[in-house]
Structure 1
Amino acid sequence: MSAGSHALPNGTNGTGTAAGDSVLSRLEKLRDARVVVTGGGGLVGSRLVALLRRVGADVAVLDRMDAYPESAHTTFGVARTGARLVVGDVCDRAAVAGLLRDADFVVHAAAYADVAACTRRPDIAFRANVQGTQVVLEEAARARVRRLVLVSSASVYGDGPADSPGPHVFHEDQALFPLSVYANGKLWAEHQTRLMLGAESGCEYAVVRYFSVYGEPQIPKPGSHSWMVPWLSLQARLGRPMRLNGGGVQVRDLVHVEDIAEATALALVEEGMAEQTVNVGTGVPTSVREVADLVAGYFPGARRIVTPRPEGDPLGGYADTERCAELLRWRARVDVAEGVDRYVRWLLATPEAMPRWLVEDRA
């Protein structure tokens, strides 16, 4: 199956309507609604906040703004959206309570969101991803917000069933096999959300499991092995060999950040999403090596080397997207070939986005 084989005809979203128009018209329900986005300063959060502001929502962001070095948060641009930005921590109960007191909706995206970093520092991961989530859930229930959308991850699936060959297609009701500290935290957050929220609490919830998010202006973090599109693109741009951890056989369902933002916003308003969990992906498996081949097309002479597969890095799989299509009435629109093209062209046109720490790294 080719990397771009899931593109839908004429820019439709599978419902026969123009995807962009359909999403924006349905999000009109959020006009003047008060929405709090935790972790709204990151790649996904900033794109989501911009979309919410576009449809007239009154948005407040809670973010530590320290997840990336240098000027990445400026590049992501949440400060330019017109949202109220509160620099703070989800473990700070007073800050969370103050923001949620008058909120209609919450998107809880704040997390120590790096598999390798969580493995190195499980203590920090526990504080951010478990304790912080508990604070947000308690205050959301206390404030009786209309709905909280929990951002989870396909990492909860791990490698899927051990007794069958991959790549696996992951569906929402199958057994879960988290392989990392990060995945454990996400699975706990899902269970705790179901325990604390729902019809009896007066606060609806929905869970969105993101598959492999990528897209401009994504920049990797030092010491991370996640975010393969920027990693491979940056290595090729610097004339260094593209590192294929484990030979690049891992399969990912690469979903563009633009699509992620749309699906997350729709999870706030679609009635069928109450107390439901959906995969947010494309339904197309793409190997790391396939991505390297796409990137190499922009950099003549680009080389590849095989490096060890990091601890906790799943062999992966791809999303069953039927429940997402049914409950959100939405499908991803940006295929991998288009997404890589967008990213590389952005990178070439934005030399100031090249991380200084990576340029100076001679290891």
Structure 2
Amino acid sequence: MPVLPHSTARAAAGRTAEETVRSRLDKLRDARVVVTGGGGLVGSRLVALLQEAGAVVTVLDRMDAYPESGHETFGVARSGARLVVGDVRDRDTFGALVRDADFVVHAAAYADVAACTRRPDIAFRANVEGTQVVLEQTARFPVRRLVLVSSASVYGDGQPDVEGPQVFHEDQPLFPMSVYANCKLWAEHQTRLMLGASSGTEYAVVRYFSVYGEPQIPKPGSHSWMVPWLSLQARLGRPMRLNGGGVQVRDLVHVDDIAEATALALTEEQMAEQTVNIGTGRPTSVREVADLIAPYFPGARRIVTPRPEGDPLGGYASTERSRDLLRWQARIPVEEGVERYVRWLLATPDAVPRWLTEETPGA
């Protein structure tokens, strides 16, 4: 049998893995799935995947998380899914949607570390009150399983006595360093307390590591989502700002991989009452990301800026549990994912948000 070239072999393995995921998602055919926060980057990608699997999808989203045409870029309004513009805190609205649902993915959140730090009151209403309403209403009806979207931010900087990049295990002590992370940890505990055997509704928790991928665009005042931030600054001819010198480590996981793992968390039997990291198991520093982006923009410069409050030094995912319980692992390496993002950015003239072009450089 001839030996395939490395790139060909990897592509073939990727196709096999994709076929396996798609065949396992056949369980969702004709299932009714409610996705809160389905209008964002991850939510819209998840909705598309669920629809490909034959699920009947309803999205509940306020559709106000991004300025200008951000949600139009993500395309959930054109996906064919039923879109309900509303707030998860509205008991009547969410209750009416979940009454006939088979599954729920709760991804709606005030999902930005910097924004939650500036406005903890909004974070509380969206991330705590909103989650409580979702859990209360879900427990009232015969929903098979709820998947709660959590975050690797619950780990903070990890174990205080460990130097260098840390691998984060699901059962290690948690040290949230921000309002956002604290909200996510509360949501995990509350989900465990309200759902499960006593309610008749299973739950699963997925902790996302650093999500990126086209067509991701940043929000004003945010320091999250470093791939689009650094890429956009370079495209505009501005220096790439390395907060804290860019020594922070992230586990960059592409949005396509995130969507697959989240969909599988709905159906994999072993995921009931389990919490699983969704990451690649590979640490990448912010400076390394800048180094991957720079060759696409001749003359790209880097400057060092202060590390923002609540920005963890970070770590990377232990992936044993996702391989065992989800029977899944990320397939898109960071080099490929960054290249895909930059090429999309270069090919999309209107991708740069107007607010960013009007922002004073260095502000």
TM-score (norm 2): 0.96
Q: Secondary structure at the match of 1:12?
A: helix
CA distance in 2, matches of 1:103, 1:351: 40
Q: Secondary structure at the match of 2:198?
A: helix
Report runs of 4+ in structure 1 exceeding 6 Å deviation.
none
Counterpart position of 1:299: 297
Counterpart position of 1:164: 162
Aligned-pair distance for 1:12? Answer: 3.2
Counterpart position of 1:203: 201
Counterpart position of 1:191: 189
Aligned-pair distance for 1:353? Answer: 1.4
1:174 equivalenced with 2:175 (yes/no): no
CA distance in 2, matches of 1:329, 1:351: 39
Residue-by-residue CA offset, 1:202-242 (whole Å, 9 max, x unaligned) = 00000000000000000000000000000000000000000
1:146-157 mapped onto 2 (5 Å cutoff) = 146-157=144-155
CA distance in 2, matches of 1:11, 1:36: 33
CA distance in 1, matches of 2:13, 2:49: 19
CA distance in 2, matches of 1:81, 1:19: 25
Task: Report percent identity of matched pairs.
Answer: 82
Is the CA contact (8 Å cut-off) linking 1:11 and 1:333 kept in structure 2? no
TM-score (norm 1): 0.96
Residue-by-residue CA offset, 1:105-160 (whole Å, 9 max, x unaligned) = 00000000000000000000000000000000001000120000000000000000
Q: Secondary structure at the match of 1:40?
A: coil
Counterpart position of 2:6: none
Aligned-pair distance for 1:81? Answer: 1.2
Q: Which residue of 130, 133, 141 corresponds with 2:131?
A: 133
Counterpart position of 1:225: 223
Q: Which amino acid aligns with 1:226?
A: S
Counterpart position of 1:3: none
CA distance in 1, matches of 2:13, 2:198: 38
Q: Which amino acid aligns with 1:147?
A: R
Q: Which residue of 35, 54, 57 corresponds with 2:55?
A: 57
Aligned-pair distance for 1:80? Answer: 1.5
CA distance in 1, matches of 2:13, 2:306: 40
Residue-by-residue CA offset, 1:304-348 (whole Å, 9 max, x unaligned) = 000000000000000000100111111000110000000000001
Aligned-pair distance for 1:41? Answer: 0.1
Q: Secondary structure at the match of 1:199?
A: coil
Is the CA contact (8 Å cut-off) linking 1:251 and 1:317 kept in structure 2? yes
In structure 1, stretches of 5+ residues that fail to align are 1-7
Q: Which residue of 15, 19, 22 corresponds with 1:21?
A: 19
Larger RCO (alpha carbons 8 Å, 6+ apart): 1
Q: Secondary structure at the match of 2:322?
A: helix
> How many corresponding residue pairs?
354
Residue-by-residue CA offset, 1:188-210 (whole Å, 9 max, x unaligned) = 00000000000221000000000
Q: Secondary structure at the match of 1:62?
A: strand
Counterpart position of 1:12: 13
CA distance in 2, matches of 1:328, 1:164: 29
CA distance in 2, matches of 1:96, 1:282: 33
Is the CA contact (8 Å cut-off) linking 1:152 and 1:208 kept in structure 2? yes
CA distance in 1, matches of 2:316, 2:287: 16
Residue-by-residue CA offset, 1:54-85 (whole Å, 9 max, x unaligned) = 11100000000000000010000001111000
Counterpart position of 1:41: 39
CA RMSD of aligned residues (A): 1.2
Counterpart position of 1:309: 307
Aligned-pair distance for 1:11? Answer: 4.9
CA distance in 2, matches of 1:76, 1:215: 11
Aligned-pair distance for 1:297? Answer: 1.1
CA distance in 2, matches of 1:18, 1:251: 31
Aligned-pair distance for 1:166? Answer: 2.2
